[in-house]
A and B are shown apart, each in its own frame.
Chain A
Amino acid sequence: MLENSFKDPMGHIIESSDNSKIFRKVMGAYKDEFIEFYNSTLYNTLLEKKYILHIESIQEEQDATIFYSERIHPITYPYEWTFHQLKDAALLTLKIQKLALTYGYSLKDATPFNIVFKGYQPFFVDYFSFERYKANKPWVAFEQFMKMFYLPLAVREYTPINLSKDLISHIDGFELRDYISMLPTKAYFNIYHLINLIVPYKWINKNKRTSHSEKPNFSLEKQIKLIEFLFDAIKNMRPHKQLTTWNDYYDHTILENNYLEAKTQLIQNWIKEYKGSTHTAIDFGTNNGYFAKLLKTKFESVLATDIDYDSVDALYLSIKKEKDSSITPFHAELHNPTPAIGWNLLERTSFFERFKGNLGTALAITHHLRITNNVPFELQAKFFASCVEHLIVEYVDKKDPKVQILLSKKEDVYSTYSIEEFKTAFETYFMIHEETPIDGFDRVLFKMERR
């Protein structure tokens, strides 16, 4: 049993010994209910609509059934998603809940951890969340939905704060009464937030603790109205826009034209010549995904990450438009990679456990890590070596105008910064196969292989 599936006493997730397959074991009192769901029109409708992936019943035990399901690998977690990824996951959850209700079922959980992205597409993977709808009961997962989806989205709508990142430290979501205060007064004039969040959780339910003797009386019709209203509220949310340095990096920098052309040509050739395994590539510092899109011509799966939230969000929207399932965008800070969290630190795995690639590209980022984050080249090389077997990396010299901008903001304590230092550091972990300067620029591209 995986230690991330202990919460549900009726169903566990089991991994095959080589980690390539996922099995789901359903048992106890829930078994018959689940088998009924598995054979229901709801299950088939969810499959047809591509809201879930097919699972196959493979083994029958006395009081348990085992199902096999495709493994989406690697998975990204909600704290690595951007606004539109979280929004689409929220909308999917509500679509599924409405559909479930119309077929006599309901979701007992509404957490973004139940959703997995395969490229642009979110899939609901917690099959054991479906239970029979109980007449006149309210939606048991309503508050969880508000704490884990609605609030982080609403906060991002009005502020530049990426609250979903804090799901790392708030694995069960945010206490609504406390966190509503993050919303500016402007949000109080949004009719959806007023009704869904502010009136019930800030003004009325402030100190109220309800007793268990409360009689549930919430008709199915009302619940469907509630779900539809939440859907409209979330559909209307737009992210707070701020202009970041990276938004139009390739469109508006002096580096444009010749530089990008030469770099593209070279990297295209290297990708073409590449003879290793073509399972996964990782584009570190992907920006608008320009090079991730080159990588996908060769690789089955491309992980594209950047420190800039808005760039990753724009990349997600672009692959969504193109219906691209091969690129997985996610937000991460390389100088502070996602940790493992939860019970025994095994519930959600770390950056290093999930993101491994055959080839990595680290273009125009080593100078940022070196100067902005003070990470020595040798530690950078060690980082890349722990993620990828082959590496295409760009060295940006101190004379480069971009490095000069970084240095103008702080004291130059980087007297040893040079191509020699760079090469010696990377040679500790990699063998350098090729080294090509970009004509007319103080930049050099390297092709390397891990020792």
Chain B
Amino acid sequence: MILGYIDPGSGSVIVQALVVAFATIVVFFKTIKNYILSFFKKSDEENETIDN
């Protein structure tokens, strides 16, 4: 059984690089969308952010 010899940490570079590549595109469009939306409404939804 090969599974027992695979380091769970290995191989995640490919996965993480892939996720970030797509994420960057999504975040780019989301930023534009939020910028446009901010003209129409004040967002008072959940204010929890990663930095607070």
Q: List residues of chain A with CB under 8 Å of any chain B CB.
A: 91, 94-95, 98, 138-144, 191, 195-196, 199-201, 204-205, 208-212, 214, 216-218, 222-223, 225-229, 231, 235
Contact = CB atoms under 8 A, between A and B. Distances in A.
Contacts of B16: 138-139, 142, 218, 222-223, 226
Interface residues of B, number: 25
A226 B14 CA distance: 13
Nearest to A197: B19
Most chain B beta-carbon neighbours within 10 Å: one of A139, A143, A144, A217:
A143
Interface of A is mostly: helix
27 contacts: A95-B50, A98-B51, A138-B12, A139-B16, A140-B9, A141-B9, A143-B9, A144-B8, A196-B19, A199-B22, A205-B15, A208-B14, A209-B2, A210-B14, A212-B7, A212-B10, A214-B10, A214-B11, A214-B14, A216-B13, A217-B13, A218-B13, A218-B16, A218-B17, A223-B16, A227-B50, A231-B50
Most chain B beta carbons < 10 A, residue from A91, A196, A200, A223: A200
B6 interface: yes
A191 B29 CA distance: 12
B36 to A, nearest CB: 18
Given A139-B16, A140-B9, A235 B46 contact: yes
B49 to A, nearest CB: 8
The 5 closest A-B pairs by CB, nearest first: A210-B11, A229-B23, A195-B22, A200-B15, A138-B16
A195 B19 contact: yes
A222 B17 contact: yes
B50 A142 contact: no
B11 A208 contact: yes
A106 to B, nearest CB: 12
Given A98-B50, A214-B11, A204 B18 contact: yes
Contacts of B50: 91, 94-95, 98, 227-228, 231
A216 B24 CA distance: 20
Interface of B: 2, 6-20, 22-24, 26-27, 46, 48, 50-51
A94 B22 CA distance: 19
A208 B10 CA distance: 12
B34 to A, nearest CB: 11
Given A98-B51, A210-B10, A191 B26 contact: yes
B24 A225 contact: yes
A228 B31 CA distance: 13
B11 A225 contact: no
Contacts of B2: 209
A141 B18 CA distance: 16
B10 A139 contact: no
Contacts of A235: 46, 48
A214 B17 CA distance: 13
Contacts of A139: 12, 16
Given A98-B50, A218-B13, A235-B46, A226 B6 contact: no
